[in-house]
Amino acid sequence: MTKTHSRRATAKAKSRAADARMLRIIAGRHRGRRLRFPAVDAIRPTPDRVRETLFNWLQGKIEGARCLDLFAGSGVLGLEALSRGATHVTLIERDRVAVDAIAAVVRAWGETGATVLQGDAFAILRQPSAAPLGGPLDIVFLDPPFESGALATAAALLERGDWLAETAYIYLEHRAREPLPALPRGWRPLKSGRAGEVEYHLWVRRPADAGPGDPIT
């Protein structure tokens, strides 16, 4: 292979890699907009098809909601929620490169309803309440790296602190071949699905005065 052909092959490979890191917003005021996430190994974005299913499940609950994208990664779950009418979304991510990429998208899109924080999710959840985030949260996205084993701890900290609205919806992702960890007693499952090696679920935090048969909408 000549040097010219080698350079072209390298350029094409880089272009394909960049395209693979491109995501699009499915619906709402930013519908069709695209964002590129950085080449960080821990980032595993929720696929379009799963995101579409999730937000169909949340139809009627996103508008006006206060949301938390706890292990934000690419930020696409929180940005999709903003696009669909969430009042405010806090996106928390440990990796500085990923945080800078999310913040750049928020600025480029002129979004004022987003707060992007760099830090350890558990350390933030050990704070006494969600007041700095605008009050108790209506919707939380929990999509940590599979190998972190973080779901159970994050769920417990959310419930232990004054983080969640009386009725809050919690989205969870985990590796399909592994069971869900134990979750707080006041949470109950609503929906679930599977896409390849990923299982995804929507749970609800039941109000304290709701009986086991009471409908929650």
The tens digit of pLDDT for each residue in 151-178 reads 999 999 999 888 999 999 999 999 888 8
Give me the pLDDT at residue 131, please: 65
pLDDT band at residue 12 under the 50/70/90 scheme: very low
Q: What is the rounded distance in angstroms from the CA atom of residue 68 to the CA atom of residue 133? A: 9
For the cut 80, the answer to whether the pLDDT of residue 80 exceeds it is: yes
What's the CA dihedral at 74, 77, 78, 83 to 10 degrees? 120
Give me the pLDDT at residue 134, please: 67
Give exposure, 107-146, as e/b (b: 16+ Cβ within 10 Å).
eebebebbbbbbeebeebbeeeebeebeebbbbbbbbbeb
Residues 6+ apart with CB under 8 A from 209: none
How confident is the model over 173-199, as a mean pLDDT? 91
Residues 6+ apart with CB under 8 A from 186: 159, 205, 206, 208
What Cα–Cα distance (Å) separates residue 80 from each residue in 63, 149, 150, 168? Answer: 12, 25, 23, 18
Q: What is the rounded distance in angstroms from the CA atom of residue 174 to the CA atom of residue 163? A: 22
Give me the pLDDT at residue 20, please: 56
What's the CA dihedral at 135, 94, 31, 39 to 10 degrees? 180
Report which of residues 8 and 92 the model is more confident about. 92
